[in-house]
Amino acid sequence: MKVIIAILLFFILISVCWPLALVMFIFLPFILLLSLFFKAFGLLLTAFVGFIFAILAIPFKLVGLA
C-alpha cells in the first residue's frame, strides 16, 4: 500500500513540478544506498546492545535471580 501511495505522489509531483521530480528520480539510488548503511548500522547496534545485556545478565542468571 505504501508503494502505491508513493507512486501516486510521484506522478502528482511529475505533473506539478517535473524538474523536482527529475532531481528526485536521479538522487533516489543514493538515498536508498544511504538508508541501507543506516539499516546495517542499526542492526549492528542492536546486536551489540543485546550482547552487552547478555554479558551483564550472566551473574544474575548464575545466582538464580533472573
C-alpha distance from residue 59 to each of 10, 34, 46, 55, 62 (Å): 55, 40, 22, 8, 5
pLDDT at residue 22, as a whole number: 80
What average pLDDT does range 17-30 have in this prediction?
Answer: 82
The pLDDT score that the predictor gives to residue 49 is 93
In three-state secondary structure terms, 21 is: helix
Tens digits of residue pLDDT in 26-43? 888 888 888 888 888 999
The stretches of the chain forming alpha helices (DSSP H) are 2-16, 18-63
CA distance 22 to 33: 18
In tens, the pLDDT along 35-65 reads: 888 888 999 999 999 999 989 888 888 888 7
Where exactly are the structural domains of the chain? 2-63
Residue 2: all three cell numbers together: 505504501
pLDDT band at 19 (very low <50, low <70, confident <90, very high): confident
- Quick one: pLDDT at residue 15? 85
